[in-house]
Structures are given as C-alpha cells and as structure tokens.
Amino acid sequence: MRFLHTSDWHLGKTLCNANLLDDQAHALDQVAAMVKETRAEALVVAGDLYDRAVPPKEAVALLDDALDRLVRGLGVPVLIIAGNHDSPERLGFASGFLETQGLHVAGPLEAGASPVLIGNAAFHLLPYADPATARHAFQDDAIRTHQDALAAQLARARANHPAGRRFVAVAHAFVAGGEGSDSELGLAVGGTGEVDATLFKACDYAALGHLHRPQEAGYAQVRYAGSLLKYSASEAGHVKALTLVELPDHGPVRTEPLPLSPRRDLRRLRGRFEDLMRGPHGEAGDYLFLELLDEGPVLDAMARLRQIYPNILGIQPAPATPALPQEVVPSVDRELDPAALFETFFRDSAGRDMDEAERALFHEVAGRTLSGEAAE
Amino acid sequence: MRFLHTSDWHLGKTLCNANLLDDQAHALDQVAAMVKETRAEALVVAGDLYDRAVPPKEAVALLDDALDRLVRGLGVPVLIIAGNHDSPERLGFASGFLETQGLHVAGPLEAGASPVLIGNAAFHLLPYADPATARHAFQDDAIRTHQDALAAQLARARANHPAGRRFVAVAHAFVAGGEGSDSELGLAVGGTGEVDATLFKACDYAALGHLHRPQEAGYAQVRYAGSLLKYSASEAGHVKALTLVELPDHGPVRTEPLPLSPRRDLRRLRGRFEDLMRGPHGEAGDYLFLELLDEGPVLDAMARLRQIYPNILGIQPAPATPALPQEVVPSVDRELDPAALFETFFRDSAGRDMDEAERALFHEVAGRTLSGEAAE
C-alpha cells in the first residue's frame, strides 16, 4: 500500500508575533494536493496537530476544514495521534463518531485500542503519553520513563496485531540521536525524554512525530516526516516535506520525501547593514532572522530594514552571540551617568566594549549636547 | 412526532467552588434513560452545552460520552445549537462529519444552513449570534439588536422551510417577560438583549434555551425547557425537567415536563443556628445556602454546621441582607481598637448595631482579657 506521513502541524502557532495561520492553510492545501496526486490510501499525522492544548478557535476551524476536505472530500482516511502539544481529551472529542467515517483520532491513551486496518497494513496509533499516564492506563507501576511507556504501548500493539498485516506504528517521541531544533518542547522535565530507536526496529514502518527535521531515526524504516513549516530560526536550513511511504506485501518499505513549498520561506540572513539595505537579497517577503555584521550600533535598524524586508522576525549582531537568535533583555541601571549608559548600550549593540577612540568620540559629542557635569 | 427538549447543560460549571461534574453525569444518565423510555425520535439541546468557551477537559470528555451513548448507542439523533456560553467554532468542530451520523451541531451562524428533517418536522437550528455576528453572516447592515439578529435567522429559516413539514425553531435567546435567575449571563452589555415572543408566534414549536426555569414564553408552543441542574441559589425553587414534545401532523403541539432527580438537591434553608444543629433538616448532603436567623454572631458557624451538612455552599444572616445570597467582603480597619473592631464584626454578623447592654457586656469580658489601654 501507499500512504503519506506528516507530523507537527502546530496549527495556531505564532512565531515572534507573526501569525502563521495563512502559511499553515497554504501548506495544508499542498498536503491535500499531494494526497490526491499520489493517490495515497491514507494520511498519517504523527502528533502536534495544534501548537497548544487550547488552540485559538481559528486553528480549530482550519483543522476542521482540512480534515473535511481530505476525508469527506477526497475519501482518504486520516490517522491522527495526539502529540505532547495537544490536549488528548480535546483532540479526541467525538472520535467514536469520526472513526466510522475514516477519521481516526487517538487522543487519550487507551490500553485496549485496536489498530486501524487499511490495505495490507495495520496502523497502531500510539498517542503521546508521559510515564505517569501510561502507568495509569496500563496499571503497571514499573513504567517510570518515556522508554518504558512507549515500550508498553508497542508491546500492547504487538499483542493486538492481526496476522498477515504489515506492522505500522504511529508515535510521537524523541528518539535518541535524533536532531532537534528550537521549536520542540522537551518531553521530560530536566531532559528530553529520549527513547531508544531499537524500540521500533521490528516495525515494518514507524511514522514518527516530534522532531521537526525530516530524518531517519536509527533504521531506514523508522522516520520523522518533519514539521509542516519551519517553526524556528534553527530550522532555516530544513527542507520541509511529507514522506511518501510505499509498503509492499513483503520486503522493506520504500520512502520518498515530497517537499513542501511554503507561502513564505524562513531564512537567516547575515550581512552589513548597508549591504542588506542594497537588497533585497532573495525573496524580500520571506520571514527573516537577520544578523548584522556591523561593528558599531546601527540606529533604528529594524524600521529601516523593514522597508525592504517587511517580514523580519528578528535582528541581532552577528559576532557577539551564539548562532541561534535569543532574546536578551539588557538590564539598564537608570542611575548610571550618560557615559556609562552609552557604554552599556554600545556593548549590547556591538557585542564588545568601546575602544579608547570611540570613547573619546562619545565624550566629544556628548560634551557639546549634555551638561558639563553629566558628560564628565 | 415525539422528541425531547432540553438546554443549558453548562457542563464544567462550578458553584461556590463545588465541582458539579458528578451531578451533571448523574443528570445525563437520566436524560439518556428518558430518551429511551419515551422512545423519543430526537433530542434537542438549545444551547449552553458548556459553561464557558474553553471548558475543562473533563467536561469535554463528559459531553463526548453522553453524545456517544445517545446517538451511537441508542441511535437517536441529537440536535445542538451553540448558546452564549459556548464557543461556536470549538463546539462546531467536525460537525460536517457528525451530521451524517445523526449528531447535528450548529456552531457558528451560517446564513445558508439547511434544516434537519426528522419525522414530520423540519428543525431549524439557530445558534446564538450577537448582532455583529449576524450582521456579518447575513451581510445586512440593518441588523443592530438581538431582535434583528434573531428575526433575520428566522426569516432565513422560513425561506428554507420545506413544504409539508412542521416548523420547529431551536434558539438561544432571552424572550421578553421571561423569568430569569442568577446564573444566566446577560446577552447584551448593559442590558438583557431581550427579544419579543411574537418572533416565535408562527412556529409550530420553539425549543428555547437561556432561561434556567422551565417556562412558556408568551405562547404555549414557545418554551424554555430549563437547565439541567439548579445553577444558583435563585433556582432553589425550580423543578428542573426535560420537555417532552408531541407534534402531531396537524393541530397544536402538546408538551409535558419530565422532572429530573438531581444527585444532590440545591436548597435554601433558613433557621436559628441551634435549630439547624438539631437537624439535619431534609437531606443532609444537599447543596445548601443557609440563612441564619440568630441575632448575635455565631462563632465558627460554617465549620460546625458542615459537620451536619457537608455540602453547604454559603451562609449568611437572614434579616440584614436581601433574599438572595451575595458575597460581602467586610472592610476591616486594622487600626481600630478592639472595641471598634468588635462593633464592626457584630454589625457584619448580626446585621445591626450592638445595643447598650451588649456593648457593656463586651467591655466587661474584654476588660478581663485585654490590657486596660486596649479595652478602654
């Protein structure tokens, strides 16, 4: 059989105050087109449909619309599990009604869940469940880690697996060794909640969600499809895609990533202010994280650059900070004298201290405008 | 045909910190039993399924369970509209899927909605919509009031009404002259958002929600079924019920209230402290709002009375306050001397000032325990 695997839609997510709903709707149009073009027999969404437990109502309406078009419009079954961002109960509402129409939603972990049978495959929907939830659902006090929880889910799936079908697991987890990015929430307090790839070794295919870069996880048949869009600066280099999965009756699975074309790309752009202003460099309307190579501070950089690049999400000096954008709230002591205040401002902007010549220049200019005492 | 009419379930509501979820589950069991016993051909829920736009997940699970049993278990169609407490988009999620299975949910107002045809009736589901929403949906700038909005909904329903069917409107509104209670939110800022009963005069039956007391609204065929439970002290005297509606092919509708038996009743009980302590009066486990007739203050009244009546929701002195409970936070000036403080305490507790004999008694007792200066 042939199906499509996707995950981490994060509908309703905002990025640096940018509302991505139109970008998500655009991407979901492509998902529907791919389902149609590939004549996929199912679409698997491996968790994090929404960005948070209580998504904005516009995100609810967007998901409703997308699922309606896919399942009722195209007649293609959609298989969904809750991820760590989703509320199992809310996502699972009315799932008893929906499954009879080809919309299979695994919200809360249920110990007695049956697989979904389509073509030659049995899809085992293993919603994200933390150890405490799994301990309760399986009434097994030995479940202490994410590894334990997922092992219990897989063991139960194995016990319920019908003969003669290929075994497909749909799960939301952080497989050890996978490459993360900045928009995934850790699964465990004080850690990543990692699980071992060997858990999935015996699967004919494991359709994973959680990590946002499309990637294999230890075995060719264990894959992250990756997120719908680039959801952080650290994902600028990703090629987002759906995974087309061809599962023959016998022998290994074949997978092929089908790239998505975003409504607006998300890029990191580095350069001197004047050079950037001579742009646009690349598509001006893209979501941009800029890194300025200028040594000195640049006055009103955001407003001026936005005249050329309207969708800048962040600007920072290139050398002084790590490669990834981070928010720094400088602590300015209002009691400092103007010279000390400017020293602080210069350090925050340029990422280094003023040298003697610059300090002398400041005093010269300040002496002309400020009172003698303040410019001392 | 024969159907049941209910409304204002307010699932997830708390009352004076009491979680009513078990009470609501108990009542929904009775609803299911009534549907079965009456062999109703449909159940109509006229809005306010939830108590708020984002209900607690336990309320979502409870509604899911109830609807599953009714529609998928008993095979009885359920017709739902959003009320002013509900989020139209959240309540309406997946409604396209659900309607094909007999679960009809009208969330957001849709100008082109079709009626639900069951038996000899066409049910027009008119979800609650404020004037601005209706103005937008109908693209009619003349819609300014709740009356205008509902009139537009009804006119559209009338235009879509198929010949040969009885006209049933399901709406959530405050019909002028209706008797309200303390747990209904006003529909309009600075007013009730009232509409005129004549709007519904031409309906064969109008199944209304919003007001919590079962009642007619101007015409015999225009009815509030009332809420699932007593949701405020002002509803203590209500008899909560579902309305059984018999709609013949010709002639007037016949209605019959079918009373609900709550898991715990909600009562207002008035008496002297000592008399109440000699109780229990009535079912001790009921939700109680007590009014104390004692003249003087009663020390630690709540804790002592709760030993007999564990589910007291509120206590207040009877004579000093209006008939309905209200929260009063006394403003105590900590700088006052003990005598003045006690005067304030006495006034708050007894609802009147101390008389001279009481004041003398206080000074006598206080003089023995406090320092001479403080007891001055």
Q: Where are the domains of chain A?
A: 2-259, 264-328, 331-376
Q: Cβ–Cβ of A57/B92 closer than 8 Å?
A: no
Q: Is residue A87 less than 8 Å (CB to CB) from chain B?
A: yes
* Closest CA of chain B from A310, distance in Å: 31
3-state helix, strand, coil in chain A (%, to 5): 30, 20, 50
- pLDDT score, position A359: 87
Residues of chain A neighbouring B101 (CB-CB closer than 8 A)? 97, 100-101
Helices (H), chain B: 21-37, 57-67, 88-91, 95-99, 131-138, 146-159, 273-277, 301-306, 338-350, 356-369
Q: How confident is the model at residue B130 (pLDDT cuts 50, 70, 90)?
A: very high
Helices (H), A249-325: 273-277, 301-306
Residues of chain A neighbouring B94 (CB-CB closer than 8 A)? 64, 67-68, 93-94, 97-98, 103
Residues of chain B neighbouring A95 (CB-CB closer than 8 A)? 64
Q: Express each pLDDT in B52-106 by its tens digit.
A: 999 999 999 999 999 999 999 999 999 999 999 999 999 999 999 999 999 999 9
CA distances from A234 to A217, A229, A267, A287, B296 (A): 19, 12, 9, 13, 70
Angle between helices A131-138 and A146-159 (to 10 degrees): 40
Residue % of chain A over a pLDDT of 90: 73
Q: Cβ–Cβ of A98/B96 closer than 8 Å?
A: no
- pLDDT score, position A313: 95
Q: Express each pLDDT in B153-195 by its tens digit.
A: 999 999 999 999 999 999 999 998 888 888 887 776 656 689 9
Angle in degrees, CA B291, B297, B298, rounded to 5: 75
Residues of chain B neighbouring A93 (CB-CB closer than 8 A)? 60, 63-64, 93-94
- pLDDT score, position B173: 96
pLDDT at A13 over 60: yes
CATH superfamily of A2-259: Metallo-dependent phosphatases (3.60.21.10)
* Closest CA of chain A from B57, distance in Å: 6
* Closest CA of chain B from A79, distance in Å: 15
Please compute, for residue A316, the number of CA atoms within 13 A of its CA located in the half-sphere on the CB side.
Answer: 19
pLDDT at A125 over 80: yes
Q: In whole angstroms, give the CA distance from residue A327 to residue B74.
A: 56
The answer for A 49-68 residues in CB contact with B (under 8 A) is: 54, 57-58, 60-61, 63-64, 67-68
Q: Cβ–Cβ of A94/B87 closer than 8 Å?
A: no
Residue B288: which of B271, B59, B299 has the closest Cα?
Answer: B271
CB B59 within 8 A of CB B49: no
Mean pLDDT confidence for A356-369: 83
- pLDDT score, position A328: 35
- pLDDT score, position B298: 86
Q: What sign results for the dihedral spanned by CA atoms B224, B229, B232, B233?
A: positive
Measured between CB atoms, which of A60, A90, A94 is closest to B98? A94
Looking at per-residue pLDDT, the higher value among B197 and A185 belongs to: B197
CB B15 within 8 A of CB B51: no
pLDDT at B321 over 60: no
* Closest CA of chain A from B159, distance in Å: 27
Residues of chain A neighbouring B68 (CB-CB closer than 8 A)? 94, 96-97
CB B311 within 8 A of CB B290: no
pLDDT at A375 over 90: no
Q: Could you please report the per-residue DSSP string of B327-343?
A: -------TTS-HHHHHH
Complex-level ipTM beyond the 0.85 threshold: no
The letter for the amino acid at A320 is: A
CA nearest B65 in A: which residue?
Answer: A94
- pLDDT score, position A341: 79
Q: Is residue B275 less than 8 Å (CB to CB) from chain A?
A: no
Q: How confident is the model at residue A320 (pLDDT cuts 50, 70, 90)?
A: low
- pLDDT score, position A189: 63
Q: Express each pLDDT in A24-54 by its tens digit.
A: 999 999 999 999 999 999 999 999 999 999 9
Q: Cβ–Cβ of A89/B57 closer than 8 Å?
A: yes
